[in-house]
Amino acid sequence: MKSKNLLKIYERLLNHYGDPRWWPGDTPYEVITGAVLTQNTAWNNVQKALANFGDKLTPQYVAALNAEELAAIIRPAGFYNQKADYLLEITHWFKRYGYDARAVSELPLRQTRAELLALRGIGRETADAILLYAFGFPTFVVDAYTMRLIERLPLPAGRDYESVKAYFEQNLPNEAALFNTYHALIVLNGKKHCRKKPLCAGCPLGQICAEQDHK
């Protein structure tokens, strides 16, 4: 039986915020790039870096750059030398599939996730974000907002990445669109209410949150 609690949380968030239609990105490769660049920085810095590409943000264009040239373009995202190496490596991985997002989406999820995790600079959160948002795989993304949510409600999901990911995937319908929207809603609520110092007034989860009386 699927967890009624998880679906109840989802419905409350969706009714409150509506469908956020997230992740930002016009193409699968733009999503890949954003997922790499957003590591350890704010999204507005990523937007500045993406803007530096102009209309040239394609895997073919990036693959033709050397690390120094790419680092200069993505400088606003911070850690630009490391991220240039990471972006070039995942771009070369994408080339193995002809830069064809559909071809990647037809691969087994387990295989594709393992390939991404084998790349430098691609951890579990980044890999799952790319799999879900760029290629449409039904894999749940766990981030700091997700961990905060399960700790404060609380939910019996464990406290490490893989156990929390498994908890959501095993207790929800196996649908990429649902995982996409659910994670986006968690992020929205985390930014507005479930912050490090929570702002509980008006939170759509206030009635079911075990820590709604935070000061």
The answer to whether the Cα torsion of 144, 149, 151, 155 is positive or negative is negative
Query: What's the mean pLDDT when you consider all of the chain?
Result: 94
Q: Where are the alpha helices (DSSP H) in 18-56?
A: 28-37, 43-51
The string of pLDDT tens digits covering residues 166-212 is: 999 999 999 999 999 999 999 999 999 999 999 999 999 998 885 54
DSSP state of 23: S
Q: Is the pLDDT of residue 214 over 80?
A: no
Token pair listed for 171: 């207790």
pTM above 0.85, yes or no: yes
Residues 213, 205: Cα–Cα separation, whole Å? 12
76-119 per-position pLDDT tens digit: 999 999 999 999 999 999 999 999 999 999 999 999 999 999 99
Pair of tokens at residue 200? 């509980």
Cα of first residue to Cα of last residue in the chain, in angstroms, is 36
Spell out the domain ranges in the chain: 4-21+140-208, 28-134
Please tell me the CATH superfamily of domain 28-134, with its number.
Hypothetical protein; domain 2 (1.10.340.30)
> What is the distance between the alpha carbons of residues 182 and 175, in angstroms, rounded to a whole number?
11
Spatial contact of 77 and 45, defined as CB atoms under 8 Å apart: yes
Topology of the domain covering 4-21+140-208: Endonuclease Iii, domain 2 (1.10.1670)
